[in-house]
Amino acid sequence: MAVFKVEDKDLNSFLDRLSGVINFNKDLPMNVFIGGGYLFWFFERPLLCFFEIFSGLVSNSVSSFKSDVFIKFSGGARLGNSCFSFDGSDLEKDVHWLSKNFESFFDGAVGYPMVLCDSAYKWVGFESAYEEFGVIAVKETELQKSFYEYLNSNFISMDELAELASGCTAEGIIAKALISSYSS
């Protein structure tokens, strides 16, 4: 298996850097990302239950950015067994293991919010317990063509979110709130 626990000094370093990208004092539908220059895509949560989409995100990230993908449960909490990295070498087995353990939140040891990112924070995903949609932010200056194409094919763009917002459904109401926070 090529999933690795991120612990101790590495976890502290990871969280220190991550706190420069995400404001853990905010939650969706507010914009949780620090700074500007991001493009946004949205997804129905929980992402880990969509095996092919999650696997594709990890695979496309590893091939586009040549770095591991990290997943951190329980937001900015410095908990052991809450952060993992994937190198993409045994993706099917790794994603199955993670999805299975996610069902019980690792027997109640972790929770939301959940953060996904590459090691250089060129893209960061955020999933909350409070909204039906999660968000992926990609630094516009770092966007790779194949990663962009994958996101556009498998996630909800801002334009598609605007279409959802035109309706009177629960998804439409959520979409309006996200647009209010994430449109420029």
Question: What range does the domain containing 163 cover?
Answer: 3-182
> Total structural domains in the chain?
1
SS3 content of the chain, % helix, strand, coil (to 5): 45, 20, 35
> What is the distance between the alpha carbons of residues 151 and 25, in angstroms, rounded to a whole number?
27
- Strand 69-72 vs strand 38-44: parallel, antiparallel, or unpaired? unpaired
Q: Tokens for 68?
A: 């591991």
Establish how many alpha carbons lie within 13 A of residue 14's alpha carbon, considering only the half-sphere containing its beta carbon. Answer: 29
pLDDT in tens, 73-116: 999 999 989 999 988 888 889 999 999 999 999 999 999 999 99
pLDDT in tens, 107-161: 999 999 999 999 999 999 999 999 999 999 999 999 999 999 999 999 999 999 9
> What is the distance between the alpha carbons of residues 39 and 13, in angstroms, rounded to a whole number?
26
